[in-house]
């Protein structure tokens, strides 16, 4: 039961779904999915359960709405009139940065790939592939490759960042340790690892991600030329 002090601090302005989604995103960013409960929301928003249930049915709906909100903003930020290749690169980079900033988004998209936000991503990718003159019969596969690469790499990058954030070792030290291990491998059996170790310590995840996008786009253009 709420105390008199708690009742005295209840909000007096109207509560909207957007305010609830924003509060949920703040909790998710700060503490992760496990911390997102309706009890936490009532404290964060200084309101009661009924006001929240009026707009959101359960935690699953709340996670989905918060994810849709993040992805919708990425799609909306695309520059109108950009060349299709640049538009696709910008979309990919926007999604990478959004999932890096909100790791829970990547996890939610893989759980519920039918969400409107992801459909908007596929729609945008498909339209830009059409503008690249990709044949209609090739767009389904090409869009799937692009979107799965974006979500896969962005999600893994965000997961790695969360693991490092929860430990005592930073990214530079972590990569240096792996590079050292690779360097000690037998050069005859692992020539690639020996060469890659030199670049692993200082590589940029974002730049490497974008290099992959460029390779995929070059492949799409070459195959359908």
Residue 25 sits in the same domain as residue 113: no
Q: How many Å separate Cα 63 from the centre of its chain?
A: 13
Residue 154 sits in the same domain as residue 219: yes
Q: What is the pLDDT of residue 167?
A: 66
Residue 176 sits in the same domain as residue 109: yes
Show the CA angle centred on residue 178, arms to residues 210 and 110, nearest 5°.
Answer: 45
84: domain CATH number is: 1.10.357.10
Residue 21 sits in the same domain as residue 100: no
Residue 52 sits in the same domain as residue 111: no
Neighbour-count burial of 215, counting CB atoms closer than 10 A to its CB (0-12 exposed, 13-18 middle, 19+ buried)? exposed
Parent domain of 214: 80-223
* Alpha-carbon gap, residue 206 to 39, rounded angstroms: 37
Residue 95 lies in a domain: yes
Residue 123 lies in a domain: yes
Q: What is the pLDDT of residue 202?
A: 80
Residue 17 sits in the same domain as residue 98: no
The residue with tokens 């299709």 is 84
Residue 185 sits in the same domain as residue 101: yes
Residue 98 sits in the same domain as residue 187: yes
Backbone phi, psi, residue 150, to 5°: -60, -50
Number of compact structural domains in the chain: 2
Integer angstrom CA distances of residue 202 from 84, 96, 157, 170: 31, 19, 15, 13
Residue 47 lies in a domain: yes
Residue 23 lies in a domain: yes
Residue 16 lies in a domain: yes
Q: What is the pLDDT of residue 147?
A: 95
Give pTM, 2 decimals: 0.83
Residue 102 sits in the same domain as residue 165: yes
Residue 183 sits in the same domain as residue 106: yes
**Is the CB of residue 52 less than 8 Å from the CB of residue 13?**
no
Residue 64 lies in a domain: no
The pLDDT tens digits of the residues spanning 23-65 come to 999 999 999 889 999 999 999 999 999 999 999 999 999 999 9
Residue 69 lies in a domain: no
Q: What is the pLDDT of residue 142?
A: 95
> What is the SS3 assignment for 210?
helix
23: domain CATH number is: 1.10.10.60
Residue 137 sits in the same domain as residue 27: no
Low-confidence spans in the chain with pLDDT less than 50: 1-2, 4-8, 11-12
Residue 159 sits in the same domain as residue 196: yes
CB atoms within 10 A of CB 10: 13
DSSP secondary structure letter of residue 34:
G
DSSP secondary structure letter of residue 36:
-
Residue 42 lies in a domain: yes
């Amino acid at each position: 039961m709420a105390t008199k002090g708690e009742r005295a601090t209840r909000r007096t302005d109207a509560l909207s779904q957007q305010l609830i989604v924003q509060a949920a995103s703040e909790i998710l960013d700060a503490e992760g999915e496990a911390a997102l409960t309706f009890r936490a929301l009532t404290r964060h928003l200084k309101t009661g359960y009924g006001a929240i249930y009026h707009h959101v049915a359960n935690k699953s709906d709340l996670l989905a709405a918060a994810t849709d909100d993040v992805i919708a903003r990425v799609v909306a930020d695309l520059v109108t009139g950009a060349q299709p290749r640049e538009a696709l690169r910008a979309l990919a980079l926007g999604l990478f940065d959004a999932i890096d900033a909100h790791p829970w988004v990547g996890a939610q998209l893989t759980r519920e790939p039918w969400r409107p936000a992801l459909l908007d991503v596929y729609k945008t990718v498909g339209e830009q592939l059409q503008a690249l003159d990709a044949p209609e019969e090739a767009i389904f596969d090409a869009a799937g490759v692009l979107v799965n690469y974006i979500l896969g790499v962005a999600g893994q990058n965000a997961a790695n960042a969360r693991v490092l954030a929860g430990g005592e070792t930073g990214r530079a030290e972590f990569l240096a340790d792996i590079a050292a291990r690779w360097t000690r491998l037998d050069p005859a059996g692992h020539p690639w690892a020996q060469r890659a170790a030199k670049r692993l310590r200082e590589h940029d995840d974002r730049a490497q991600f974008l290099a992959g996008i460029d390779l995929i786009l070059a492949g799409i253009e070459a195959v359908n030329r």
